[in-house]
Amino acid sequence: MKPLSPTSNPPCLSPRDLELFEAVCDGTELAIAWFDAALQLPWCSCRFAEWFPRGLPPTPESEATGWEVAVRATLDDGAVRQSCLRHDCAAGGSRWYRMTCRRWNGGVLAVFADVTLQRHMEDDILRSERLQGLGGVAAGVAHDFNNYLTGILGIAGLLKETLPDDGEEVRMVSRLEGAARAASGLAGQILAYTRDDPEGVGDADLCGCVESIAALLRHTLDPRIEVRTDLRDQAVGVPLPPGRVQQVVMNLCCNARDAMPAGGTLELTVRVHGSRATLRVRDTGMGMTDEVKQRIFDPFFTTKGVGRGTGLGLAMCREIVLAAGGEMRVESTPGEGTLFEIHLPLEGRAEVEVARGGGPVEAAAGEAGGGTILVVDDEPLVRMVAERFLNRGGYTVVTADSGDAALELLRRRGDEIDLVLLDLTMPGKRGPQVVAALRRFLPELPVVITSGYSEQSVTNAAWAQAVQGFLAKPFDRKALMAAVAGALVADR
């Protein structure tokens, strides 16, 4: 088909009317075409010829609807109807147009509006919602893993106490403990990555965030991709929430993964120069041309196929870095890989809130205790392990498998209970509801919250002021005894 050009005069319009008509069309960023009863194109506006230089392509037979169907239906019944049209541009990429059809002068007048940006935004919102839902599922699975790992670690610890110190059985149990702790660390990294930190709140240890992402990637990337890290031993504080740092690092690492479909090396390096920190993410992938490199930070620009990328990841990364007073640059050569450098100002405070190496530092366990502890958890294995540990520590233990059962027991025997070890997440009444209820009739009773979620999920909550401690799952005997002893000492 020959390239389109506007005809000199649409039906029923004088040259002067045509000039006014096209001026209005161009001023409103619309393209207009008039189809006759045979679906031929006697006239189109200048903008239509620019957008569709060879006319509208035929709808593939595999698609049930298309522009032809909309035009014919409008010819038949005269109803105004809208449809969405995807058009592959000759220069590459696709654009989306909203087509509005109405019958006019024995044919159909079709008005086209470019809705590509709107379509991308809608797709991004839907993808965000799906990812948010997936993050919630991942967090729930990680929480349940920590519940089961509490039982595995607890039983392993109990077994070790019954075995000779130099036997093969003890070494096997120790290896079991090591595997369970590694699984717990992975679950903790999933929880940290899926947690949504408020924008602009908090400071992150850059090395700690990179280290946690690298550990997660080693479990999830193609084994042909080697992940290397070169980090400082000390914390490197930057003025960004941990979640935002992890978002930037994960996005760059995922891009590096996509650039190495046959494997390669991913290097993560952190350096400090004066008052600034530098994160370097280097891959040995396919690299980029200068043309691509100049556009990688443009919103909606992507070299990935349909459904594999929105073109927003690097744009968001740059906005996060710029908002923190930093800068971001890239070096890349086709066939030689890519290097991203992120420069961030160092946080001025002497201490950074995010600690390296995982969970909170454990307090030393106290001497053999005395008193009665109520253990509340819906997981039988956790209740059993906690009861055995506490019994061996000199405590009397009563248990409840739900919040309602715990409150009923406390109403009857509250004066006998010295401390409540309470699970945060249970069916029925959850931990915060149980705390609020028992404070009405036992305002001074110490409570220690246990959870497979992070400590921040408790300490950042308003109701956390009513509890005396937090114990992360999975826990061992030492951590349990320290948490209980600390809460009882604080209550005295």
- pLDDT digits over 404-416, tens only? 999 999 999 999 9
> What digits encode the pLDDT tens for the residues 329-345?
999 989 899 999 999 99
| Contacts for 419 with CB less than 8 Å, ≥ 6 apart | 371, 373, 374, 445, 446, 447, 448, 484, 487, 488, 491
Looking at residues 210-238, what average pLDDT do you find?
87
Name the residue range of residue 216's domain: 203-352
CATH number, domain at 415?
3.40.50.2300
Strand order in the sheet with 447-451: 396-400, 372-376, 419-423, 447-451, 469-472
Strands 204-205 and 30-35: unpaired
* Residues sharing a CB contact under 8 Å with residue 315, sequence separation 6 or more, in sequence order: 297, 298, 299
Distance from C-alpha of 250 to C-alpha of 137, rounded to nearest angstrom = 19
Give the pLDDT of residue 232.
82
Q: Looking at residue 366, what is its pLDDT? A: 43
In this structure, the answer to whether residues 292 and 398 fall within a common structural domain is no
Residue 216 lies in a domain: yes
Number of domains in the chain: 3
pLDDT for the residue 175 = 83
Please indicate, yes or no, if residue 158 is contained in any of the structural domains. no
Query: Are residues 344 and 210 part of one domain?
Result: yes
Report which DSSP code applies to 45: -
| Residue 305 within a domain | yes
161 occurs within a structural domain = no
Digit-coded pLDDT (tens) for 188-206: 666 665 554 444 446 788 9
Residue 310 lies in a domain: yes
Using CA atoms of 250, 254, 256, 261 in order, give the dihedral in degrees to the nearest 10.
160
Does 342 lie in the same domain as 407?
Answer: no
Contact 75, 88 (CB under 8 A): no
pTM, 2 dp: 0.50
Which domain CATH number covers 106? Answer: 3.30.450.20
> Does one domain contain both 378 and 344?
no
- Domain end call among 114, 143, 163: 114
Q: Is residue 194 part of a domain?
A: no
